[in-house]
Structure 1
């Protein structure tokens, strides 16, 4: 039985690693990404709606509303609850995040499949914490999140311009319909 469990764990780990390694790079510049100088974690916690994302292997295209909810854990880390609302059901993924020491809360390491962690960098953030741009140094993942399901056309355009200045192309960004 232990041998079977070991084989199952190795197989699952291999699939997860290959999924991460096969994720394409979408960022069109080699200029290193910079994070915001600091983040007030208490203001950042709570529910965010996905406005745009880069395609990735762990988010379905049929999600009509996607949310990320962050909370403070007893150990000082951050709880993560990502929810994909589909027309007929919802799917949830629970994870944890650790703050990168010395980053003033602007860099986190997030895991949904421990012991594997990924970078989560806060690249730009509204002064009132109403929207945020999130990425990671390799250019494989990127999100625009907001506190509201829908943004004004002017704000949405402004955030897309910010994404382009960071090296992401509009044509690559996926927008859930946010109908629920």
Structure 2
């Protein structure tokens, strides 16, 4: 089985077709969302307010895996979201170019290997957000702070569940 970090990188860089095929075959990744459930991105997305630093407060993991958590920095430019930088506790940083074709839908990577990450929900003050992929390969709850806001974290988890994500795979802090 391919780990979730590899799946995230698949969407963020051009990959060989055989690797993509491995991800969706029976021996590949088991995703975290029931794709028979409808999914939608938020209609009140504002790229300028979404830009900035976030802390990963919730992450979908497979049984026996531990969350990676870490931080996300979102860049904003004339075309909306223009870049995403991920960093982990070991200070490893990875920056990816991004673009938006629709508000709340951020594409990372180059077609045909680009992946669209949907902002499913963000609170009114842009402090907490739920992000996922239509395939269910990925899901996060991000927040502006490392602690607090338990009501918003709970609301984000409920939005992910409403959009078909497996509640039992969500690990939060």
TM-score (norm 1): 0.72
Aligned to 2:151: 154
Query: 5+ residue gaps in structure 1?
Result: 1-11
Structure 2 gaps of 5+ residues are 1-14
Partner of 2:48: 42
1:91 and 1:20, CA in 2 relative to 1: closer, same or farther beyond 3 A? farther
How does 1:18-167 map onto structure 2 within 5 Å? 18=21, 20-21=23-24, 22-28=28-34, 30-55=36-61, 61=66, 63=68, 65-73=69-77, 78-85=82-89, 89-100=90-101, 103=102, 105-111=103-109, 116-167=113-164
RMSD of aligned C-alpha atoms?
2.7
Q: Distance in 2 between matches of 1:167 and 1:161?
A: 10
Q: 1:6 matched to which residue of 2?
A: none
Secondary structure of 2:49's aligned partner? helix
Q: Work out which of the two has the higher radius of gyration on C-alpha atoms and give 1 or 2.
A: 1
The question of 1:17 aligning with 2:20 is answered yes
Query: 1:25/1:40 Cα in 2 relative to 1: closer, same or farther (>3 Å)?
Result: same
CA distance in 2, matches of 1:144, 1:157: 10
* SS of corresponding position for 2:161: helix
Distance in 1 separating the partners of 2:43 and 2:79: 24
CA contact (8 A) 2:130 2:157 kept: no
